[in-house]
Amino acid sequence: MSSPHSVLANLGENFAAGFLELPDAPPVRRWSRAVQRRLEGTRPPPYTGARLYPTGPYRTGREDSILAPSYSFTWSFNRGELDRRQTDATPEQRDALQFLRTEMDTVERQLSQPAIPHTVGGNGYTHSIPNYGRVIREGLNSYQERVQQGLAKAATQEQRDFLAGMLDVLAGVRVWHGRLLAELEATHFAPSEAEDRRLRLLRTLRQVPFRPARNFFEALVAYNFVFYLDGCDNPGRVDYELEPFYQRDASEDVTSFAEAEALIREFWQNVDTNSGWSASIGGCDGNGQATYGDLTLACLRAARGMRRPNLQLRIRQDMPDEVWEETLNTVATGTGLPALHHEEEFLRSLREADLGIAEEDLAYVNGGGCTETMIHGRSNVGSLDAGINLPLVLVGTLARSLSTVGSFAELLDAYREDLRRTIADIARYVNHDQEAKSHWRPQPVRSLLTDDCIDRAQEFNAGGARYNWSVINIAGLGNVVDSLAAVREVVFERGELTGTQLADVLAANFADQEPLRQRLTRCPRFGNDQPAADELARQVGEFVFREFLGHRAWRGGCFLGSCLMFVTYAQAGKGVGATPDGRLAGAPLADSAGPVQGRDLHGPTACIKSLGAIPHYLAPGTLVVNARFAKEHFRTPGGRAKLKALFQTYFSLGGMQMQVNVVDQELLRDAVAHPEKYPSLVVRMGGYSEYFSRLSQELRETLLERTEHNV
């Protein structure tokens, strides 16, 4: 009788076969072998004459449809597909599939814990960024040498198991690389540009990624290779890593700016095709000096009209005017790229969070996923590890305390205490998850490609990365601020109704109380430069951010606040009852860290002054702020100057991130009514850009509610 792993391999389930191949080995060996077998069994995509290879979707064919690799969770287990395959399987195949089910049940039981309501778009998720630059500069052969050197001096069996797993992964990479070369060798075109590209790629892939890149093209081909090897997550600091190769080529007339831009755009297309995430450009070098180069401009130009990558421009006071102009040109295309990040404040924030980041490594700051702050090639950041639904906590506080407290100060204290307990529960939940993952959910590819896992002989999820922390999503700040401002005014300042009466109205979801609901909407609102609301934003924000910073994560570092609601702010409101800001039960929450959509009515300057009240630097996980501006402002020198001044003013007030939608209101209104007419329309959500047609109707309508500002 054949072994379960050989039966599964014959079914095209190479990843599962590798996992079952070493049943008595520790998890890090088993999952490393799974990665090896998956790489060995993956069919290369067809070569079609592109500048880069591989290209196209990360997954092709039907391999690994039951148990598939996952860059966040190590694996993705499709029980439904397993059930379907069992129905028409042979007895031997059914036995193998059942054995796989039993093994996965055992593993997943080790990772389970009681659910909490505060996930808010993240539940143990882990974006990451490989050390692309090290692969480019040193080659994967040097990785093999470091692993073998580590094995020679390993002091424990755990270290030996980990490093043996790294050799398995490297063996798989070699086979996959060889299959890519074989595909290029077997494909031929008539004399043409496509044939020239094929031959160039053949020469290049015989050099990289196992040996160091010697020029810009080799460096970018290796970069693209690592992006696919990692599972197509984040491209990271593309311009910073590749600029030295480009400059050397440019000085020797080997690579023109136009060719570099075309190559970057094709790489961006690979990122987009695979729904990859974030690339950070611009900013500082390892000595703290500005490092905007030609590739910064090429990255901006290549991103025009693109949905991905989630391009993040690191803006400094000394950013050249040329970069500003290219930035405004790219933003004006309407896809929300690039997001604007205030570098000086981000670096200050990270230094004060006491994360132990070396100054030279601050050059590698990059928001992963949407914007979750991490260090390119050197960090393991839970992103998003969990979240906290601030309005959900407030609804509970109001139900328990609104009828009994004697003052607004007492109510605010009660809310703070509920927040404190909830934050402690969230930290315990995340730490339990991190500790369980350190043994049962290793990440072999990320262990290979992230410093300092090999040198420490320590797995990625066990703390092997140089830097470790957790990013927590904070939802509904705008709703809470508006709600508290309303309670203070109508109950404690003006006595228009008692706390008991308001509690009853909220419990009944404003039934037969529409005049009162409308009255509440006339209370102070965050986003309008109203001190009564903005001071509450400062107090609540500071309390929540500091509470999270005060907890230590199991893997290392602390908990960094963020607010990046991407497409989750509608879902996050589903389980939240009516709130005193006039929001009905189940309605969407605020879109990320800005005002509740449509409530900022006094212009962009008033809005950014309100946003400046929040201590952004205490939430270095990134507070995402969305803004909408009419396209006409990008068409004239005067309008562009005003936009630039507005962004700079926002940063001077302490803002750290802003992303801009430039979509005509009438077009957006028509797209809400007829989404099928706009298949290529891209809009900016809370932290990334997405095709409008992919959004739920509820989310489409909230985009229409956003205030369109004039400058």
Contacts of 437 (CB under 8 A, 6+ apart): 111, 124, 461
Look up residue 266 and give its two tokens.
Answer: 């094709």
- Confidence label for 666 from pLDDT (cuts 50, 70 and 90): confident
Residue range 27-73, pLDDT digits in tens:
999 999 999 999 999 989 999 999 999 999 988 777 899 999 999 99
- Confidence label for 684 from pLDDT (cuts 50, 70 and 90): low
Shortest CA distance to 500 belongs to which of 401, 590, 369?
A: 401
Percent of the chain with pLDDT over 90: 84
Q: What is the mean pLDDT of the chain?
A: 94
Lowest mean pLDDT among 118-122, 380-384, 699-703: 699-703
pLDDT above 80 (res 699): no
pLDDT above 60 (res 136): yes
DSSP track, 182-201: HHHHH---SSSHHHHHHHHH
Mean pLDDT, range 104-115, rounded to an integer: 92
CA pair distance 695, 691, nearest whole angstrom: 7
- Strand blocks (E) in 489-625: 559-563, 622-623
CA pair distance 67, 346, nearest whole angstrom: 39
Q: What are the helix (H) ranges across 332-470?
A: 343-352, 390-401, 408-440, 444-449, 453-456
Shortest CA distance to 395 belongs to which of 502, 511, 546, 533?
A: 502
pLDDT given for residue 178 in this prediction: 98
pLDDT above 60 (res 707): no
CA pair distance 235, 376, nearest whole angstrom: 9
CA pair distance 175, 164, nearest whole angstrom: 17
CA 283-618-411 angle, to 5 degrees, is 155
List residues bridging with 691 in a β-sheet.
682
**SS3 category, 307:** coil
Amino acid at residue number 466: R
Residue range 85-100, pLDDT digits in tens:
999 999 999 999 999 9
pLDDT given for residue 554 in this prediction: 97
Lowest mean pLDDT among 139-148, 223-232, 318-327, 566-575: 566-575
- Confidence label for 572 from pLDDT (cuts 50, 70 and 90): confident
Other C-beta atoms lying within 10 Å of the C-beta of residue 206? 12
Q: What is the 8-class DSSP label of residue 493? A: I
Contacts of 261 (CB under 8 A, 6+ apart): 298, 301, 302
Q: Are 277 and 309 in contact (CB under 8 A)?
A: yes
pLDDT given for residue 680 in this prediction: 64
Mean pLDDT, range 203-226, rounded to an integer: 98
Q: Left if phi > 0, otherwise alpha if psi is -120 to 50, otherwise beta: which for 12? A: left
Residue range 336-357, pLDDT digits in tens:
899 999 999 999 999 999 999 9
pLDDT above 80 (res 668): no
- Strand blocks (E) in 283-378: 310-315, 339-342, 365-368, 372-375
Shortest CA distance to 623 belongs to which of 546, 686, 689, 571?
A: 686
- Strand blocks (E) in 564-703: 622-623, 626-629, 657-661, 682-684, 689-691
Residue range 281-330, pLDDT digits in tens:
999 999 999 999 999 999 999 999 899 999 999 999 999 999 999 999 99
Mean pLDDT, range 367-375, rounded to an integer: 95
Lowest mean pLDDT among 153-162, 260-269, 692-701: 692-701
Shortest CA distance to 249 belongs to which of 257, 237, 261, 241?
A: 257
**SS3 category, 93:** helix
Q: Are 427 and 503 in contact (CB under 8 A)?
A: no
Is the Cα torsion angle 208, 209, 211, 217 positive or negative in sign? positive
Is the Cα torsion angle 481, 485, 491, 493 positive or negative in sign? positive
- Confidence label for 711 from pLDDT (cuts 50, 70 and 90): low
Q: Helix, strand, coil: what percent of the chain each, to 5?
A: 55, 10, 35
List residues bridging with 60 in a β-sheet.
none
**What's the Cα-to-Cα distance from 243 to each of 108, 129, 233, 293, rounded to whole Å?**
44, 18, 21, 7
What is the enclosing helix (H) or strand (E) of 292? none
- Strand blocks (E) in 208-330: 278-282, 310-315
Shortest CA distance to 238 belongs to which of 309, 290, 289?
A: 309
Mean pLDDT, range 677-683, rounded to an integer: 69
pLDDT above 80 (res 709): no
pLDDT given for residue 688 in this prediction: 61
Give domain limits for the chain: 4-111, 389-624
Amino acid at residue number 54: P
Torsions phi, psi for 191 (to 5 deg): -50, 120
Shortest CA distance to 582 belongs to which of 668, 685, 645, 502?
A: 502
Q: Are 506 and 398 in contact (CB under 8 A)?
A: yes
Burial class (CB in 10 A: 0-12, 13-18, 19+), 143: buried
pLDDT above 70 (res 629): yes
- Confidence label for 685 from pLDDT (cuts 50, 70 and 90): low
- Confidence label for 242 from pLDDT (cuts 50, 70 and 90): very high
pLDDT above 80 (res 510): yes
pLDDT given for residue 311 in this prediction: 97
pLDDT above 90 (res 597): no
CA 231-439-471 angle, to 5 degrees, is 60
CA pair distance 584, 279, nearest whole angstrom: 38
